[in-house]
Amino acid sequence: MRDNLDLSLYLVTDQKLSRGRTHEYIVEQAVRGGVTIVQLREKDVSSRVFYELAKSLMGLLRPLNIPLIINDRLDIALAVEADGLHIGQSDLPYAVARRLMGKDKIIGLSVENLAQAREANELDVDYIGLSPVFSTRTKQDINKPLELSGVKEIIGITKHKTVAIGGMNSLNIESVMKTGVDGIAVVSAIVSQENPQEAAFRLASLIHHEK
Ligand SMILES: Cc1ncc(COP(=O)(O)OP(=O)(O)O)c(N)n1
Ligand SMILES: Cc1nc(C(=O)O)sc1CCOP(=O)(O)O
Ligand SMILES: [Mg+2]
């Protein structure tokens, strides 16, 4: 658990959208632009490649004091002593993840509706990911978007920090921040932009304007 967790601008990686650039390049540029936390999410790579990427990003981010969260793969999170793990409703149960990660690590849980948000109130997760807020082409088989109304409902009952994910960009980020979320998680709005540093800077400025 972390008291000082800054979810303001949360970068989620996707090699397929990186236009041939390395993770290290995208992540370093994005952090320079104002990203406050990074999640390594790669669905189509081998365990060895995932591990090497995680190790390399740890080397980059630890000196900068930016937390690295590993998506889905508890084994990789443990292997590289990452700062945390993000799990969804179909991943490892939260209790198992917490037991193995330990009490000091960050654990985030995806929440797709009000009922799941109520259930999450019984858990000592560090944050919930509200997913998806809007439709997105980045991830297949997403649930029905929450839209702003669904986000507001969850904000009204949750005891946790919140990060909004799915279809977020510079045009809608202000309206999402106004719901009271603690931060915005993006893939394409940074990873696939020509200048990831500039893109992150623009998003971070909009977020801080609403905080
Ligand atoms: C910050 C954040 N929120 C939600 C998700 C989605 O997690 P999950 O539902 O487990 O889906 P996958 O990302 O594993 O496809 C996330 N990754 N990050
Ligand atoms: C990783 C992820 N999870 C989602 C969910 O709804 O659970 S949506 C998503 C991808 C978000 O990408 P973009 O910022 O490009 O829309
Ligand atoms: Mg998952």
DSSP codes joined into one string, the chain: --TT---SEEEE--GGGSTT--HHHHHHHHHHHT--EEEE--SSS-HHHHHHHHHHHHHHHGGGT--EEEES-HHHHHHTT-SEEEE-TTSS-HHHHHHHH-TTSEEEEEE-SHHHHHHHTTS--SEEEE--SS--SSSSS-----HHHHHHHHHHH--SEEEEESS--TTTHHHHHTTT-SEEEESHHHHTSS-HHHHHHHHHHHHHHH-
Nearest atom within ligand 1 for CA of residue 139: 15
Query: Which residues are within 5 Å of ligand 3 (an ion), measured at CB?
Result: 72, 88, 91
**165 CA: nearest ligand 1 atom:** 3
ipTM over 0.90: yes
pLDDT at 1: 57
Binding annotation: 39-43, 71-72, 91, 110, 136-139, 167, 187-188
pTM of the model: 0.98
Low pLDDT (below 50) residues in the chain = none
pLDDT at res. 126: 98
Going along the chain from its start, the domains and CATH numbers come out as 9-210 (3.20.20.70)
The residue whose CA is least distant from atom 11 of ligand 2 is 166
Which residues form the pocket of ligand 1, taking CB atoms under 6 Å from any ligand atom? Answer: 10, 12, 39, 41, 71-72, 86-88, 91, 108, 110, 129, 131, 139, 163, 165, 185
Q: What is the pLDDT of residues 16-45, one digit of tens each?
A: 999 999 999 999 999 999 999 999 999 999
